[in-house]
Homo-oligomer: A and B are copies of this chain.
Amino acid sequence: MTVTPEQLASFFKKKGFIYPSSEIYGGLAGFYDYGHTGTLLKKNFENLWKNYFLKLNDNFFEIETANIMHEKAFKASGHLDNFIDPVINCSKCDFSDRADHFIRQELEQNVEGFSPEQLTALIQKHNLQCPTCKSHLKPVTVMNMMFPVNLGIGGKHKAYLRPETAQSPYVNFKLQYELQRKKLPLGLALIGRAYRNEISPRNLTLRQREFTQAELQIFFNPQKINLFPLFEAVKDYKLQTLLVEDRPLHTVVERTAEQLVEGYHLPQFYVYHLVKIQQFYIDVLKIPPSKFRLYQLNDLEKAFYNKYHFDLEVELTEFGFTEMGGLHYRTDHDLRGHQEISKEKMEIFDEESNSKFIPHVLELSFGVDRHVYMLLDQSYDDDAQRGNVIMHFSPSLAPFFCAVFPLVRNKPELVALAEEIYADLNTHFSCFYDPTSSIGRRYARADEIGVPYCITVDFDSLENDTVTIRDRETTQQRLVKRSELASMLSTLYRSSARQR
């Protein structure tokens, strides 16, 4: 039974995962809110991400920074000049669209990388008209995708909502380097919001105007990119790659880390992080290897400042393989830009190599909202036999790890015992209490938000001090002594985390 994107969106809303922001006002295109289950899922993802990536090196740290930044920071980064989309406007009515999308749709021609002048020429050549009122279209212009914010009285001071979180760690780099051990590699991780005036926001949280990124910026000595001591331990690890050379057949090819270094001249430091990223998807997020791939971008596709760029892709039910993030070797592009505009020296003296240089940056970038969408998509299972949806979240991602149900509501001792057990479990686990409707209905509701374990308190509980644990995946139930409940759940939780 296939489910349409609209049915999914409606289910995600009904279960409190995600829904349009400002919805009572008709929503706001490109903005979503997380309900009570979605918020827990998002936080769980963020915590897994932090635990994993911050622990790769004891010189990696998290920072938290303002979303609004100085105009000059975006002069330095190139966003002021280059973060633009081509736009087409009607000369009469208020129709407007992204020019490249419009032309691609009208002419079925790929115009990636075309200049505004080239796009205008195409429109004139084919005599394209406004699709709304059939009037003449104005020449193609460009629109900067950043949101300006004007500070102070009269908005005298121009600033911008950052279009990517990355610039915050770059601007913070020199200070953090001085505050820490003056040692490379230094990692600055940041989970925060970024903002883009997308012309066509779409597909729920896959392309929003306000979104959360989880990024790790690793500052390192470029002289050491080819030889990285930890590489040896991962050299035989098999990566799911789709390189530029694989495109004609469009198949994913398994290649060892060593093959990528030896056969494709990718640096050890870069490939090591490809390995760690794939391990995160497969071992931590539990994505089946067949649904994950590292997609290499070609020179036309990647940003000009990225020397190496692989997208991290997961296969979604509706959209196929979709970009979840990327591993970007941004060289010294950003720090050099900030040095030029701010006149602050970004060069450091590296004791270990006894040399001075501007560190290079390896960026591990993850779209958090995309991951939440992906986790919802991967977990969703409309089970015909049970007659309800099951969300197969792994226990470390599930919004609620357990639920407590009193079998009936009209027996005060039984309700009191259930409330006591709930209060106890709630101090250790993310837990919820549900006293209403039939047990079958309560199991179904728990399945729908992906609760791994449901604990039912029944008449036997009062007599024998036992409760029933029901497993979401198997629906099997087993009796457990109440005194052993918390430690048994802890074991279940830890073993699911260990299966990584």
Contact = CB atoms under 8 A, between A and B. Distances in A.
Interface of A: 13-16, 19, 21-36, 38-40, 42, 55, 58, 61-70, 72-73, 87, 89, 94, 96-97, 143, 147, 149-157, 159, 161, 168, 171-172, 174-176, 179-181, 193, 195, 197, 199, 209-210, 338, 341-342, 344, 422, 426, 432-433, 436
B70 A22 contact: yes
Contacts of A36: 61-63, 176, 179-180
The 4 closest A-B pairs by CB, nearest first: A36-B61, A22-B70, A96-B153, A21-B66
Contacts of A195: 68, 149
Number of copies: 2
A194 to B, nearest CB: 11
B210 A66 contact: yes
Given A58-B432, A96-B153, 7 more contacts: A19-B175, A22-B70, A26-B70, A29-B152, A33-B168, A39-B63, A89-B154
Given A171-B23, A193-B193, A34 B153 contact: no
A24 B149 contact: no
A87 B69 CA distance: 25
B35 A63 contact: yes
Contact of A16 (B15, B153, B179, B197): B179
A28 to B, nearest CB: 5
B94 A156 contact: yes
Contacts of A97: 153
Nearest to A341: B25
Nearest to A30: B151
Contact of A68 (B26, B61, B210, B436): B210
A39 B25 contact: no
Nearest to A51: B427
A61 B36 CA distance: 6
B153 A28 contact: no
A35 B179 contact: yes
A94 B16 CA distance: 50
30 contacts: A14-B179, A15-B179, A19-B175, A22-B70, A22-B73, A24-B171, A27-B70, A28-B157, A28-B159, A29-B151, A31-B66, A33-B168, A33-B172, A34-B63, A34-B65, A35-B176, A36-B62, A36-B63, A36-B179, A36-B180, A39-B61, A39-B64, A55-B426, A58-B432, A58-B433, A143-B153, A147-B149, A152-B197, A152-B199, A155-B197
